[in-house]
Structure 1
Amino acid sequence: MNILIADDLKIYRLALKLYIHKHWPEAVVYEASTMHEVVEDVFDVEFDLLILDINMPGSELLEGFVAQAIKYTKIIIFSDMDNDDPRVENLIKIGADAFLPKMSQQATVISTLEFVFSEREL
């Protein structure tokens, strides 16, 4: 399984990567720090999941990107915003599969990933 974690803060990327590898050791995890990197990388690898920070550089491209990417992969929106923030709500309406708050405990991260993975066989 191929997963791309996109966040401008390396600490969040590393934490998510550790959680993923702890529970899915076979996963190949890629990292990006800007939305521009995501747009470039998404054509190089067939991703099973994209975890996208809502506030990274280039995030003005996020809504349009999500609208296209949902046709090909699962998407989790990753943010320090509340899930009732209008931008988060809009991304879920567009078709993002889940919302994951940045301050989530490990159990919440894992359960969110399991939920998204259960939606489609990988």
Structure 2
Amino acid sequence: MRILLADDHALFRSSLRLHLETHPELEVVAEAADCESVLQHARRTQPDVILLDLAMPGGDALDVIPRLREACPASRILVVTAFASPTYLRRSLSAGASGYVCKATSPEQLLAAVRAVREGKTYISLSETESGAALGTGSTRVPAVGPELSGRERQVLELIAYGHTYKEIASELGVSIKTVETYRSRLSEKLGLRSRSDIVRYALDHNILRA
């Protein structure tokens, strides 16, 4: 598997390269430190997977994602970022990324993410303390509103998935923060959604939050 690393921190790239290349099936074919050079290297090397940081000089990496998809349509893009944010996750997937992981994730999770996106899956992990999950792109998704959720519960789930805080949700819905917390607890009890990543994955898989 041929990999392009794109991150403006040389030490991080070096560490990541050392880890990846301990696996004989993985080869880092190029490194990039800014938005323009990642496009140049991608066009030249046509890698299988591009590991892309969102905070690089030379432009907005979110704007680079669709340009990478155009330049090398067979490449899969895995965002590796310090932003553990559902909002950035949604924007990255909407732009054409195949996965999104936090930089503090374990080496094992990162390797799983690389392999998953190469296989055509969508991999998501917003926290270094929880395991990520790969979503099969070919699976049939169930309707967005299941019988187990009330309309208000679905609203709260959707707003959490889009990255809003409890305070923002309370203001949006005209309820107290305590009420939002109650709905969040119900989601946990009904659906087993313990973490923010769980909520985002559920929302994606049920067409509540669209990639």
Matched, 1:49 2:49: yes
Count of paired positions: 118
CA deviation vs aligned residue, 1:34-82 (integer Å, no higher than 9, x gap): 111112222211111111110010242x233212323331001111011
Aligned to 2:68: 69
Q: For residues 27-106 of structure 1, what are the structure 2 equivalents within 5 Å?
A: 27-60=27-60, 62-70=61-69, 71-84=73-86, 86-106=87-107
Q: Which has the higher contact order (CA 8 A, sep 6+)?
A: 1
Asked if the contact 1:83/1:99 (under 8 Å) is kept, the reply is no
Asked if the contact 2:93/2:99 (under 8 Å) is kept, the reply is yes
Cα offset for 1:26?
Answer: 5.0
Q: Unmatched 5+ residue regions in structure 2?
A: 122-211
Runs of 4+ in 1 over 3 A off after TM superposition: none
CA deviation vs aligned residue, 1:72-95 (integer Å, no higher than 9, x gap): 3100111101141x2332011222
Matched, 1:21 2:21: yes
Aligned to 2:207: none
Cα RMSD (Å) of the superposition? 1.9
After TM superposition, the score normalised by the length of structure 2 is 0.51
Q: 1: distance between equivalents of 2:16 and 2:93? A: 21
Q: 1: distance between equivalents of 2:116 and 2:23? A: 14
Q: 1: distance between equivalents of 2:92 and 2:13? A: 21
After TM superposition, the score normalised by the length of structure 1 is 0.84
Identity of aligned residues (%): 22
Q: 2: distance between equivalents of 1:31 and 1:64? A: 19
Aligned to 2:120: 119
Q: Unmatched 5+ residue regions in structure 1?
A: none
Rg larger for: 2
Asked if the contact 2:80/2:103 (under 8 Å) is kept, the reply is yes
Asked if the contact 1:19/1:110 (under 8 Å) is kept, the reply is no
